[in-house]
């Protein structure tokens, strides 16, 4: 019997599967166009780095220079220098997100930290990203999110930890469409995606069995 062969060119990147690959078609079918439109997609494999450093220190300054963006100091705020965005998580904690396959960001942050106190940890496998967008996106989210999502309270460039349904997420609004990016733990992504599909049903999407 012939021995099984493995494609030598199929490395870890080529073989990886996103947490929601099995729901890709279902999410696409749930999308609705028009004045009450809303769409749901997964943006998998974003590079995410959890960053801890004391604000105002030399190390923080070097990190800002390496990122090309300041570290936001206020709760719920973000900064962006394409392709990297920095989301506030706490007084000395941020999540650096790059939607590109930004393999250099971790090395850049380690170099900027040097021997100073702080940490930069790759947490890319911890979460995936769901993108909910369209005129009815806010209304769909409001079915299960306790935040006041009205533009007077929450708008582009804001990101906070909250819940959607029973799932803990980092909720980030990126534009006025509105477009929201929801970052759940990968193990809860299936539940959250199905919850959102169900919430979209009112606007014309299919039922989820």
Residues 154-193 have pLDDT tens digits of 999 999 999 999 999 999 999 999 999 999 999 999 999 9
Instruction: Give me the domains of the chain, ranges plus CATH numbers.
Output: 22-44+128-202 (3.30.1360.120), 47-125 (3.30.70.1520)
27-49 b/e (C-beta count within 10 Å ≥ 16 → b): beebbbeeeebbbbbbebbbbbb
Q: Where are the beta strands (DSSP E) in the chain?
A: 39-42, 47-52, 78-81, 84-90, 93-98, 119-122, 130-133, 158-164, 167-175, 179-184
When pLDDT is averaged across residues 119-134 and rounded to a whole number, the result is: 97
Q: Is the pLDDT higher at 202 or at 190?
A: 190
């Amino acid at each position: 019997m012939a021995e099984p062969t493995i494609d030598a060119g199929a490395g870890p990147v080529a073989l990886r599967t996103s947490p929601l690959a099995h729901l890709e078609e279902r999410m696409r079918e749930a999308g609705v166009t028009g004045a009450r439109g809303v769409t749901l997609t997964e943006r998998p494999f974003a590079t995410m780095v959890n960053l801890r450093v004391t604000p105002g220190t030399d190390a923080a300054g070097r990190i800002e220079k390496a990122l090309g963006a300041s570290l936001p100091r206020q709760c719920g705020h973000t900064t962006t220098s394409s392709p990297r965005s920095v989301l506030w998580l706490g007084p000395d904690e941020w999540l650096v997100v790059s939607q590109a396959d930004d393999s250099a960001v971790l090395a850049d942050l380690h170099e900027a930290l040097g021997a100073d106190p702080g940490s930069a940890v790759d947490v890319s496998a911890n979460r995936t990203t769901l993108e909910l967008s369209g005129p009815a996106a806010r209304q769909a989210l409001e079915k299960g999110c306790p935040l006041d999502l009205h533009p007077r309270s929450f708008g582009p460039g804001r990101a906070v930890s909250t819940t959607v349904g029973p799932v803990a997420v980092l909720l980030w609004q990126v534009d006025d469409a509105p477009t929201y990016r929801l970052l759940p733990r990968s193990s809860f992504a299936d539940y959250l995606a199905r919850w959102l599909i169900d919430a979209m049903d009112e606007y014309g999407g299919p039922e989820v069995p």
